[in-house]
Amino acid sequence: MNDEQLQPHSAFRFHGSWVEFARIAFPNLLLTIVTLGIYRFWATTREREYLWSKTDFIDERLEWTGRGMELFIGFIMVFLLIGLPFIVIQLVSQGLIFQGLPVLAGLLTFAMFLSLFYLTGVAYFRALRYRLSRTYWRGIRGGSDDPGFQYGLSYMWKWVVGWLPLFLMVPWAMISLWNDRWNAMSFGPHRFSANAQWTPLMKRYLLFYLVPFLFFGGAVIFGISMAASGGTPDALGDTGMAIGGILAVVAVLTLYIIIPLAALLFYSKYFRMAVGGLRLHTLEFAFRARAADWVLFFLANMAIIICTLGIGYIFMPYRNWKFFVEHMEAYGEINIDELTQSQTVVEKHGEGLLDAFDVGAI
């Protein structure tokens, strides 16, 4: 009786309006400025409260229960535990260079870089955990009991393996880490399972990877054929100039349009594969945005930011969330009676690390 049958295309719905969001975003901006940025933790919280509360999963709204103070404490922790030691290390290594010990200074800097690398991995993990533990649906929340320290190590070695063979294993690293992250998470009594495949990503990854080479190869072939036909752009006069102009346009197009486009093509597939491999008990998930949707989304974002001379930037959290929710899909059924409260630990601090490194969580 309490089983909820999921209709396709209806599991996640977003009812927000940008006018309502503006009433939150503009005071946020004002308060953030007059507090020299400190209010931004409370600003983020207010925005999430709004966005979550305007998001339906099946028949009930989501609820964001995170608090600004938690994010602030997370930030202070990062400042004391990482920021200050790193400033000291930087001063010390500068002193070492002055004193003629550049090797020691180099080692120290390398150690600093390694620990930052490790902490970035931990930060990704903990941010996801924090967000799940503060997201409630029907009074039930998610979370994880894993503190993410092990994940930090996986993050390091998997990225190194991804980069070593000339960056060819990057898709494997991305998918494998996504799976590691989500396999440690749960919602209510159920554990997520993530089995996303990385091999289907390779075609698009190679496309992205090869664009610069293809372009360079094309230019070389063009140059050779020009030389072979005995003509130089100079000798051809106007035609030569025109061809040179076309070449320049193609170069600019490649740099600013084709490479980002190829990257987006890859990323849209990555996100579809990653979400598609996700299960929660009897629920399966899908992300329906195709490459064209992503392209339109980014173009619209750029247009908004440019046309508003940058002020539109404050609407980006709204746009991102809307895009995410409108393309999320879930299939299967949930037994509401079986969905009991999560027993995972709840940390008192927010995503400080991730906030400090300025990276996104999902």
Partner 1 sequence: MSTFFDVAHYDGQKAVKRKVEVQVVGPQFYVLENEHRSGPFAFADVEYVTKQGEADVYGLAGHDGWRLILSGPVPSDLKGLLPTPRRYGGWVDRLGLGKAVIAFALTSAAAVAVVLFSPQRLAPLIPDSVDDRLGDALVGDFGGRFCHTPAGDAALQKLVASLDAAPQDLRVEVANIDMLNAVALPGGNVILFDGLLKQARSPDEVAGVLAHEIGHVREKHVMQALLRQMGLAVVLGGVDGNSGAMVNNLLAMSYSRNAEAEADAHSMQALGNANISPVGTASFFDRLSQLDGSEGTVKGNVDITSYLSSHPLSASRKDAFEKSIVKGKNYKPALTPTEWTELKTMCAQDRKAKSGFGFDFN
**Binding stretches for partner 1 (CB under 8 A):** 2, 15, 27, 30-31, 34-40, 42, 45-46, 49, 52-54, 60-61, 63-65, 68, 75, 79, 83, 87, 92, 94-95, 97-102, 105, 136-141, 188, 334, 336-337, 339-342, 346, 358
Q: Which is nearer to partner 1, 106 or 217 (CB)?
A: 106
Q: How far apart are CA 361 and CA 153, in angstroms?
A: 18
Q: Which is nearer to partner 1, 43 or 173 (CB)?
A: 43
Q: How far is the CB of 310 from partner 1 (least distance, A)?
A: 12
Q: How far is the CB of 140 from partner 1 (least distance, A)?
A: 5
Q: Which is nearer to partner 1, 239 or 335 (CB)?
A: 335
Q: Which is nearer to partner 1, 267 or 357 (CB)?
A: 357
Q: Which is nearer to partner 1, 39 or 297 (CB)?
A: 39
Q: How far apart are CA 264 and CA 276, in angstroms?
A: 18
What are the residue ranges of helices labelled H in 35-83?
40-53, 68-78
Q: How far is the CB of 324 from partner 1 (least distance, A)?
A: 19
Are the CB atoms for 120 and 135 separated by under 8 Å? no
Long-range contacts of 16-20 (CB under 8 A, 24+ apart): 16/50, 16/51, 16/54, 16/55, 16/318, 16/321, 16/322, 18/315, 18/318, 20/50
What are the residue ranges of helices labelled H in 134-253?
149-163, 170-183, 202-228, 238-253
Q: How far is the CB of 306 from partner 1 (least distance, A)?
A: 19
Measured in degrees and rounded to the nearest 5, phi and psi for residue 334 equal -120, 135
Q: Which is nearer to partner 1, 228 or 309 (CB)?
A: 309
Provide Rg for the chain, Cα atoms: 25
Q: How far is the CB of 79 from partner 1 (least distance, A)?
A: 6
Q: How far is the CB of 114 from partner 1 (least distance, A)?
A: 21
Q: How far apart are CA 111 and CA 354, in angstroms?
A: 20
Q: How far apart are CA 225 and CA 234, in angstroms?
A: 15
- ∠ CA 121-126-127, rounded to 5°: 100
Q: How far is the CB of 282 from partner 1 (least distance, A)?
A: 14
Residues 6+ apart with CB under 8 A from 328: 11, 12, 275, 285, 286, 287, 288
Q: Which is nearer to partner 1, 42 or 159 (CB)?
A: 42
Q: How far apart are CA 300 and CA 124, in angstroms?
A: 28
